[in-house]
Amino acid sequence: NEHKKLVQLKKKTINGFGYEWTNFSKLYKEYEQQFLDWIHPITPDFFKNKLVLDAGCGTGRHSYYATRFGAETVGMDLSIAVDVAQKNAGNNLRTHIIQADIFHPQLN
């Protein structure tokens, strides 16, 4: 049935991306320019005092840059990549990393 297929696809996604993001976890300096190119024509000033959701955050690099540019950021991922995202966020109190499903986030 359709529900069973979706559950299997979700598990496959969790395992695949979890593996990828935990094995390729480093934040390289080139990523900042990639982020700026991706958000263009938005500038870093846009993020000041904003609340940003980085759904499917993986290693948390987009959360990292949004926070660095002044946002409070919630990074959300299904997989164990949240451990890497938390490590990349460091002790930044404006970055919140949670392991959750974007369709059923269970936010409190």
The domain tally of the chain equals 1
**CB-based burial label for 68 (10 Å; 0-12, 13-18, 19+):** middle
- Return d(Cα 64, Cα 34) in angstroms, integer: 13
Q: Is residue 107 part of a domain?
A: no
- Return d(Cα 58, Cα 79) in angstroms, integer: 8
Q: Is residue 77 part of a domain?
A: yes
The pTM (predicted TM-score) of the whole model is 0.77
| Strand intervals (E) in the chain | 51-55, 72-77, 95-99
Q: Is residue 75 part of a domain?
A: yes
pLDDT of residue 75: 97
Q: Is residue 106 part of a domain?
A: no
Q: Is residue 6 part of a domain?
A: yes
Q: Tell me which residue has tokens 């979890």.
A: 18
Whether the per-residue pLDDT at 99 is higher than 80: the answer is yes
All residues at 6 or more sequence positions from 47 whose CB lies less than 8 Å from its CB, including other chains: 66, 69, 70, 71
Tokens coding 88 = 């990349």
Q: Which amino acid is at 61?
A: R
Q: Is residue 105 part of a domain?
A: no
pLDDT in tens, 10-43: 676 766 555 555 555 677 789 899 999 999 999 9
CATH of the domain at 55: 3.40.50.150
The domain in which residue 7 lies consists of: 2-99
